Amino acid sequence: MAPISEKIGYGFGDMSSSMFWKVFSYYLPFFYSNVFGLSLVDAGVLVLVTRIWDAVSDPMMGIIADRTQTRWGKYRPYLLWVAPLFSIAGILLFTTPDWSYGAKLIYAYVTYILMMTIYTAINVPYGAMLGVMTDDSQEKTVFSSFRMFFAYGGSFVALAAWEPLVNFFKTGGGSTSLAWQHAMMVIAAACFVLFLLTFALTRERLKTVSTVSIGKDFRSLLSNRPWWLLIAAALCFNLFCTVRGATVAYYFADIIGFDARLHLPSFGEGLGVGFLFYAGLFLSVGEVSNMVGVACTVPLARRLGKKSLFMAVNAVLLVLSVAFFFIPVSPTGFWLMLLFQVLISILTGMMSPLVWSMYADVSDYAELRYKTASTGLIFSSSSMAQKFGGAIGGAAVLWLLSACGYIPRTDEQLAAQALITQPESALLCLRYLMSFIPATVALIAILTCHFYPLTAERMTDISRQLKEARP
């Protein structure tokens, strides 16, 4: 059994990745349309094209990592090599040059593609490490839970700090675009340190060697039925999270408002205490709730099995998402929204380590059936599903808002937190994006996972056979 320090160290890696990923997923569409100055349609195409490239590049990186051999292992050295580039690319992504519209659009494509390529180069090997740190299926779930616990912790820090950081750097009349850039510099520095700690604290224990051709690796992958089903289910999960997350900034700006407050009840003659109800608070509370969900994953997965837990969680997500539509925009409704965010986030917190652990099971299944050590290729497919979900979800939010007549704010209006009268169609679209659309995605995930064949009993047998076959 691996020491607790190694599990914490492994968690630091996704803490770093998630700090970037959540800011990208939740604030980048808003940044492009309201700070950088792109139209909603151009921003939607940009998000879709770059995320598709990012997803396609994942298997390439998986193949490269599978065939890397160093004294530090196959996957771990990439944490050291790529970490500085990762931080620099994030800063460039949130930089707004004072150029013409066309030149800025080209800059946005170049920096976004660069960022996603570098993200792949560090995140695919990091994810694949789970397959070579231990050969125990339950221990993989533990590692995965540590990973996601720290991931959500990092997301909480980034999301809770983002708007205060932006406001801090705007103090004294600074421009909004520079404030966003400087806020990313702070996040990028933290991410760099975290990846170095992951490299220092982790080890690769299993020695796997790919002895077949790249073509055979791909043919084996494409004929791997559990892989296809898990890809579809994971894509749905990430689509669910991205659609809701990318909508929140718009939802608060145009439905909740900039000055909404959560009021605590008063006692006696005293005045009730209130505090600002803003997007960062809503999202960061969700990240803390995600961490609670992660803590529940291991015992529930052992009791119910990974497949059954996956389906049950999505069923409850479906119900809660539909119910969210009917919450009123009122002081009482704000508390209900926060409660629903807590419940939904606990459930999505269970999903993340569950999915990563299921990918490790798919990797073991592939090694036994196809006699190929393609751990990196298989784990890269999980990142691919995540990015396809992000690409489709992020672009869909922007395109739907554009089709429904949403009116973006100018930089000056955003700085002044100006209220804009949006058409009723745009407001209804925002409400659907937080409710019925994610509910439909959860339903598709349930139907897909129903056919997933790697049950707990099946994985026990696969693990036994692999122990006998491995040297």
3-class SS at 287? helix
Bridge partners for 276 per DSSP: 261
d(CA 357, CA 137): 8
d(CA 192, CA 80): 9
Architecture of domain 7-465: Up-down Bundle (1.20)
Range in 198-212, 271-285, 372-386 the model is least confident about: 372-386
Average pLDDT, the chain: 86
The answer to whether residue 45 scores a pLDDT higher than 60 is: yes
The answer to whether residue 268 scores a pLDDT higher than 70 is: no
| Higher per-residue confidence, 337 vs 412 | 337
Angle at 184 between CA 179 and CA 185, to 5 degrees: 100
pLDDT band at 345 (very low <50, low <70, confident <90, very high): very high
Give me the mean pLDDT over the 316-332 stretch: 95
3-class SS at 263? strand
**Percent of the chain residues topping a pLDDT of 90:** 41
In sequence order, the 6+-apart residues with CB closer than 8 A to the CB of 382 are: 127, 230, 231, 234, 355, 356, 359
d(CA 275, CA 255): 18
Give me the numbers of helices (H) and strands (E) for the chain, helices first please. 17, 2
The answer to whether residue 410 scores a pLDDT higher than 70 is: no
| Higher per-residue confidence, 101 vs 43 | 101
pLDDT band at 93 (very low <50, low <70, confident <90, very high): very high
d(CA 122, CA 83): 7
Long-range contacts of 245-249 (CB under 8 A, 24+ apart): 245/22, 245/25, 245/26, 245/283, 246/25, 246/26, 246/29, 246/393, 246/394, 246/397, 247/397, 247/430, 247/433, 247/434, 248/26, 248/279, 248/282, 248/283, 248/434, 249/26, 249/27, 249/29, 249/30, 249/279
In sequence order, the 6+-apart residues with CB closer than 8 A to the CB of 311 are: 446, 449, 450
> What is the domain partition of the chain in residue ranges?
7-465
Range in 83-97, 232-246, 343-357, 388-402 the model is least confident about: 388-402
pLDDT band at 393 (very low <50, low <70, confident <90, very high): confident
The answer to whether residue 270 scores a pLDDT higher than 50 is: no
The predicted-structure confidence for 3-12, as pLDDT tens digits, reads as follows: 899 999 999 9
The answer to whether residue 330 scores a pLDDT higher than 50 is: yes
Give, for 274, the enclosing helix (H) or strand (E). strand 274-276
pLDDT at 313: 96
Give me the mean pLDDT over the 433-460 stretch: 92
**Percent of the chain residues topping a pLDDT of 70:** 91
The predicted-structure confidence for 118-165, as pLDDT tens digits, reads as follows: 998 998 899 889 878 887 877 888 898 898 889 888 988 898 889 889
Give, for 262, the enclosing helix (H) or strand (E). strand 261-263
